Structure 1
Amino acid sequence: MAELENIQNLRENFKKHNKSCFILGASGATGKELLKEILKQQLFSNVTIIGRRKLTFEEVAYQNVNQQVVDFEKLDEYSASFQGHDVGFCCLGTTKAKGGAGEAEVKIEELNFDHCTIFKPALILCDREESRPLEWCARKILGCLSHAMSITALSVPVSTLARAMVNNAVIPSDKKVELLENKDIHRIGNQDETKTS
């Protein structure tokens, strides 16, 4: 994909448009990493996080992040929180056991966005606050193995996933709905490391 080789140029062009974004789920592992990556790249002139509670940040980089507290049981009453943004990131992921395979994709398609990308990572390598003993064991094993060999089909570091989400936002696409599997997430998320000069 030719666009991926020019990710830096795409980012610089994107910045010129003064776009705004919101993030749902910024308190979770993926959402935290995504917010960090968005602020690091400085792609958006306005960043809003939308969640159930206000988050506390000590770092100066977070001082201009807007926060909207909403009740997810009464989202219709908070529609204004979602308006006026060019890009939305939803990190309210769940396990297949909790979420039901395919249901989320169908619901998202029904919302009729101009463009929607659905990320389907394999095991996300991160430190979770929620205790999942089997997942913890798998993360430790795959984390060690990933240093010795490429295991892009089985896992993805949370930093790579977040970078893929941000990089994907600047890559032009004519697809209405796009589905990115784990290997695609690795390819897009590692562009900074693999791009040619």
Structure 2
Amino acid sequence: MTEAMTALVLGGSGEVGKKLVQELVTNPSFARVILITRRELEIPHEKVEQRIVDFNQLDQYREAFEGTEVGYCCIGTTKAKAGAQGFVKVDRDYVINAARLAKEAGCRHFHVISSTGANPNSKFLYMKTKGECEKFLTELNLPRLSIYRPSILLCARQEARPLEWVAQVFLKGFDWRNKISIDTETVARAMVANTFEPPQAPTHSENPIVEIFENTDILRLGID
């Protein structure tokens, strides 16, 4: 890739999304960063173009996906915020619909954040939802799909609850080898770095490429 690219970022309000946008706007390989969100965010940078959409009616916003070569999906919520049905709708359905529209618009490489332990047959809602999302994304036959499965995400959220803050401090001190946790900035850097890595399958193959990066793989990409 020699010419400056246009990147598509889906959901830039979360901790990984914020770090990802920062990485993209400071990278000279990207001329533009198109941010697709449900509400306008305060990101004052000349490279960033925000396109506001209703994720419940995403098919009506097909034009928002046009003109992008690589897509990064950071869409996500929690069961505590959205309830069980809302969580599945956001973390599975929104992601799948966005990936489909990105593919139809010509996106050649789609990156998505999943989770360690993702399994469509899991008895746990979180792992089951992430696993189903991975399965459906694979069935879309995107030209190149990169799935990232980080462990517990470490971040400095100002609104973090006391117990969450204590857990973060504990993990940063205890998990110094990053076996069960990883910093959000490292995940963002890994996603950008992998954009310029050769795919994990022969490039001469016409078949869709699906790559899965576990926590150790993300660390390698994000730190090296």
2:145 and 2:32 map into 1 onto residues whose CA distance is: 20
Match of 1:177 in 2: 210
Match of 1:33 in 2: 19
Structure 2 residues without counterparts, runs of 5 or longer: 79-123, 202-208
**2:121 counterpart of 1:138:** no
Q: Report SS of the residue matched to 1:22.
A: strand
The number of equivalent residue pairs is 171
TM-score (norm 1): 0.79
CA contact (8 A) 1:25 1:90 kept: yes
CA contact (8 A) 1:119 1:181 kept: yes
Q: Report SS of the residue matched to 1:137.
A: helix
CA contact (8 A) 2:149 2:215 kept: yes
Q: Choose which of 65, 82, 91 in structure 1 pairs with 2:74.
A: 91
1:75 and 1:138 map into 2 onto residues whose CA distance is: 37
> After alignment, is 126-135 or 69-78 more displaced?
126-135
Match of 1:24 in 2: 10
1:74 and 1:35 map into 2 onto residues whose CA distance is: 24
CA gap of 1:185–1:93, structure 2 versus 1, over 3 A, is farther
Counterpart code for 2:221? I
CA RMSD of aligned residues (A): 2.0
Q: Choose which of 104, 107, 130 in structure 1 pairs with 2:136.
A: 107
Q: Give the C-alpha shift of residue 109 in structure 1.
A: 1.2
Q: Choose which of 37, 61, 67 in structure 2 pairs with 1:78.
A: 61
Match of 2:109 in 1: none
Match of 2:42 in 1: 56
Deviations 1:13-32 (CA, angstroms, capped at 9, x unpaired):
x3x22221110111110000
Q: Indicate the structure whose relative CO is greater, using CA pairs within 8 Å and at least 6 residues apart.
A: 1
Q: Give the C-alpha shift of residue 135 in structure 1.
A: 4.0
Q: Give the C-alpha shift of residue 165 in structure 1.
A: 0.5
